Amino acid sequence: MGIAENITSLRKAIPQNVEIIAVSKTRPVTDLLTAYNAGQRAFGENKVQEIIQKQPLMPDDVEWHMIGHLQSNKIKYIISRIHLIHSVDSLKLLVDINREAAKINRIVDCLLQIHIASEESKFGLSFDEASSLLNSDEYKKASHIRIRGLMGMATFTDDEIQVRQEFDQLASFFKVIREKWFTTNTMFSELSMGMSGDYKLAIDAGSTMVRIGTSIFGERNYNL
Ligand SMILES: *Cc1c(COP(=O)(O)O)cnc(C)c1O
């Protein structure tokens, strides 16, 4: 199947209130344009360099989502055009994003990335680290960022029970955080979880945003 057909069938399979982020890392702009012409507007990239290269070649109404680890020294390259940063994994990064956003007088939407997988290698905050971030004075003073929700990646495994448990954990933590820190702020509303292999489980657990690459564009070839 082609990219356009993949998008159409995903839209049918996914509830209306769940947003699809087309993960276009490693893909050529021609593939992104095919997706755009099929109605896709939200694109996810995990490298600053790829956003910088592709953004000028794509229509202006594309929403760029940063889903990969972000280094502080690269924030300045994407700060004016990023729609949502899914991968805030430290207080320092949040403070640095805030500083760059203040320079251009923009309020930038962010998600806190939470570590839910059993693998060591995946980035993200523990529940405790996220709580102390939200309690910190630095966060309270950060007027140019807005925390819109949480992001998480489950363990890469065929064990559906484990994946389900990890998504459930993130969903309950989301509720705890909302009740404790965002009672008067309805902007805390997004739960970014689910990829090609596990988005159905993620949606069952309450995901509001799924990040899908392979099921839209096909297998990635990192050697290209
Ligand atoms: C690559 C990537 C995805 C998409 O993965 P697929 O399995 O191709 O759908 C989702 N989220 C993040 C953070 C990624 O890096």
Buried b (16+ CB within 10 A) or exposed e, 99-115: bbbbeeeeebbbbbbbb
User: Closest ligand 1 atom to the C-alpha of 67?
Assistant: 13
Q: Where are the alpha helices (DSSP H) in the chain?
A: 3-13, 29-37, 48-54, 75-78, 91-103, 127-135, 137-141, 160-181, 199-204, 214-217
Q: Two tokens at 163?
A: 């994946």
- Average pLDDT of the chain is 96
**Which bin fits 133, alpha (ψ -120 to 50), beta or left (φ > 0)?**
alpha
pTM: 0.96
Please choose, from the candidates 50, 13, 15, 18, the residue with its C-alpha nearest in 3D space to the C-alpha of residue 31: 50
Q: Read off the pLDDT of each residue in 136-151 and give the average, rounded to a whole number.
A: 98
d(CA 92, CA 103) in angstroms, rounded, equals 17
How close is the Cα of 127 to the center of ligand 1, in Å? 22
| Ligand 1 neighbourhood includes 218 CB (under 6 angstroms) | no
Q: Two tokens at 81?
A: 């055009």
For the stretch 25-50, pLDDT in tens is: 999 999 999 999 999 999 999 999 99
